[in-house]
Amino acid sequence: MRCRCCTSHGIAVAGRCVNFSRNWPRHPFPESYRRNICPSRSTRSRSSSDSNGNGPKGTSAKRSRGLGSVTIAGSCIEHPATTSPCIGFETDMAIQWITGTLRNRKVWSDGLFTLTIHCPGVLEFEPGQFLQVGLPLPEKHLHRPYSVASPHGDDLEFFIVRVENGELTPKLWDLEIGQEIDVSEKATGGFTLSHTPRAKVLWLLGTGTGLAPYIAMLRDPKIWDTYERIVLVHGVRFLADLAYTDELERYSKAYDGRLIFVPVVSRALAAHGFQGRITQAIESGKLEQIAGERICPETSAVMMCGNPQMLDDVEQLLNDRGMRKHRRNEPGHYVVERYW
């Protein structure tokens, strides 16, 4: 990400350029989150909770912590000591946190897991958006954005991969049932059905934990009222990394085959799927053969989420078919969410 006020890759903070490679967390961040980040001075704001961060009796604790050099939610501000505006950044200076409790932990494979957090009080959000999940540690408050794998409700699911030597995910992996965990009150992000073009067939392409927003969407009746058929393509390395498969099979049966699930496994043979990568499945024509549908401008809307190399390659394939990225003021055929 290039800073507009200098020629290096970084951001300007109080007139200085700060290199992302030294300061930015290594954990994947959704692109729509990064688009809503702006450098600013550290700020702390008061919330309705008491001095210990406890909310009213009988409710989840709610408090505010400063974000340091990160701001979200608000209108665009300028870099200090420069005239270059940041792009679409918002100005709420602190995240409002709600303390939830870990209700369930599902391990799919070594390092791949889902946390269910009981957290009443999170504001209404759309499937496909993300929330901050964090842990208050003695030295600092660790938090990262995660797409929610469930619709809005008191119990929220997060589909997570443990990052070796990471700051947060190994700690999330080690959490025990009943332990407290922080969740941001407000969700963010534009990777939603309301920002996706209408069409006969909706193609959901995802790699790894990029499956999470699609699980949330499939659990919401809106998607079934909007599209005639849905093709979900999940790309992973190993068969063990295919999560939520039983649930996806139930949807296919419950909705009379309107959901076609195509697993794409690069290092093993997937039954009823494709061995290789998503781009290879598209180029070979095998994906369309399995789904019984064509990816074309006339009938298709495409959502893509996950590995940036896959996204770049699939974008090019779609562009070659006469499809274009969907924008607010320029309707198109596909939308993209990058995870890093």
How does DSSP assign 50-76, residue by residue?
-TTS--STTS--EEEEE-TT-BBSS--
Residue 11, pLDDT > 80, answer: no
Residue 195, pLDDT > 80, answer: yes
pLDDT in tens, 36-87: 443 333 333 333 334 334 444 344 555 554 433 333 333 222 222 222 222 2
User: CA-to-CA distance for 38 and 102, rounded, in angstroms?
Assistant: 31
Domain range summary for the chain, segments of one domain joined by +: 10-184, 193-338
Token output for 304: 């893509």
Residues 6+ apart with CB under 8 A from 255: 224
**Tokens 């210990």, residue?**
52
pLDDT band at 162 (very low <50, low <70, confident <90, very high): very high
Residue 137, pLDDT > 80, answer: yes
The angle formed by the CA atoms of residues 299, 300 and 305, to the nearest 5 degrees, is 175
Predicted local confidence at residue 38, as pLDDT: 38
Residues 6+ apart with CB under 8 A from 130: 30, 32, 33, 145, 146, 147, 148, 187, 188, 189
CA neighbor of 143 nearest in space, from 152, 153, 155, 130: 130
User: CA-to-CA distance for 131 and 218, rounded, in angstroms?
Assistant: 18
**Tokens 């979200």, residue?**
72
User: CA-to-CA distance for 207 and 237, rounded, in angstroms?
Assistant: 9
The more confidently predicted of residues 329 and 270 is 329
Residue 121, pLDDT > 90, answer: yes
User: CA-to-CA distance for 274 and 261, rounded, in angstroms?
Assistant: 11
Q: What is the mean pLDDT of residues 124-146?
A: 95
pLDDT in tens, 289-327: 999 999 999 999 999 999 999 999 999 999 999 999 999
Residue 226, pLDDT > 90, answer: yes
Predicted local confidence at residue 328, as pLDDT: 86
The more confidently predicted of residues 169 and 84 is 169
The more confidently predicted of residues 47 and 198 is 198
Predicted local confidence at residue 272, as pLDDT: 80
Query: Does residue 216 sit in helix, strand or coil?
Result: helix
User: CA-to-CA distance for 62 and 101, rounded, in angstroms?
Assistant: 13
Token output for 297: 């401008």
User: CA-to-CA distance for 122 and 131, rounded, in angstroms?
Assistant: 9
Predicted local confidence at residue 221, as pLDDT: 94
**Tokens 């992996």, residue?**
173
User: C-alpha 264: how far from its chain's center?
Assistant: 20
Token output for 38: 């702006």
**CATH of region 193-338:** 3.40.50.80
**What type of residue is 241?**
D
Predicted local confidence at residue 339, as pLDDT: 74
User: CA-to-CA distance for 76 and 20, rounded, in angstroms?
Assistant: 20
CA neighbor of 98 nearest in space, from 202, 196, 180: 180
Q: Which fold has domain 10-184?
A: Elongation Factor Tu (Ef-tu); domain 3 (2.40.30)
Residues above pLDDT 70, as percent of the chain: 73
User: CA-to-CA distance for 167 and 5, rounded, in angstroms?
Assistant: 30
Residues 6+ apart with CB under 8 A from 276: 264, 266
- Kind plus residue range of the DSSP H or E element containing 320: helix 308-320
Of the chain, the end-to-end C-alpha distance in Å amounts to 11
Whether the Cβ atoms of residue 333 and residue 300 lie closer than 8 Å to each other? yes
